[in-house]
Amino acid sequence: MVALITGAVSDIGKSVALTLNKNGYDLVLLYHNKEIDYLNELNNSSVYKCDITNEEEVKNTINTVDKIDVLINIAAISMDSEIKDKTKEEFMKVLEVNLVGTFLVTKYAVNKMNNGTVINLSSLDSTKTFNSLSVDYIASKAGVNTLTKTFSLEYPNIRFITLLLPWIKTSSVLEMNPEYLREEMNKYNQDRLMEVEEVSNKIIDTINSDTLTGSIIEVDYD
């Protein structure tokens, strides 16, 4: 079984890669800027530097892969700022990575899939809260939810599932203003940060489940 993971250099990407590898998956890992630093912990993995907003790069990268059984779209960025200060360039950059990038990778990956599962990581923010600082991020994740529904209708032989994640214990989240973070967590009644390992386990459980295609699932860490 082969799993392709975008955003493999991130805290979540690393945890997902290690967990899938331990569960017998060969890996195809995509990164963009910072190089992956845990390759010595993996077996049977291929690594590609790929800008997922560049269609030609995405197409050429995926064309080197023989088959894909599972695609996990993790790559995402945020550029928080007040609406009055947010530029079109910032807004479009977030949409390009989070939404367009997910679209492009999925568009080409499905050609390498015979059945299989696509997991898109989204956020509870896309359905439950509306924060002006991250309006572009929220819009991009709402778009990812729609991609899941649309692709599920276009490719009925492949399962497409979105996981709506709460706040995760990543290095970037831990660097946030704690008061702001607590206010945001309170919107979900979230009493602790979800561990990255819990995200990985949820992904494995979802892959192995009989969850219907097109499902948008709110992730509960309890």
* Stated pTM of the model: 0.95
Residue of 2, 18, 96, 111 whose CA lies nearest to 51:
96
Residue of 155, 162, 71 whose CA lies nearest to 117:
71
Topology annotation, domain 2-167+195-217: Rossmann fold (3.40.50)
- Predicted confidence at residue 152, as pLDDT, reads 98
Q: What is the mean pLDDT of residues 15-36?
A: 96
The tens digit of pLDDT for each residue in 41-78 reads 999 999 999 999 999 999 999 999 999 999 999 999 99
Average pLDDT, the chain: 95
- The domain spans of the chain are 2-167+195-217
Confidence of residue 222 (pLDDT cuts 50, 70, 90): low
The tens digit of pLDDT for each residue in 78-137 reads 999 999 999 999 999 999 999 999 999 999 999 999 999 999 999 999 998 778 889 999
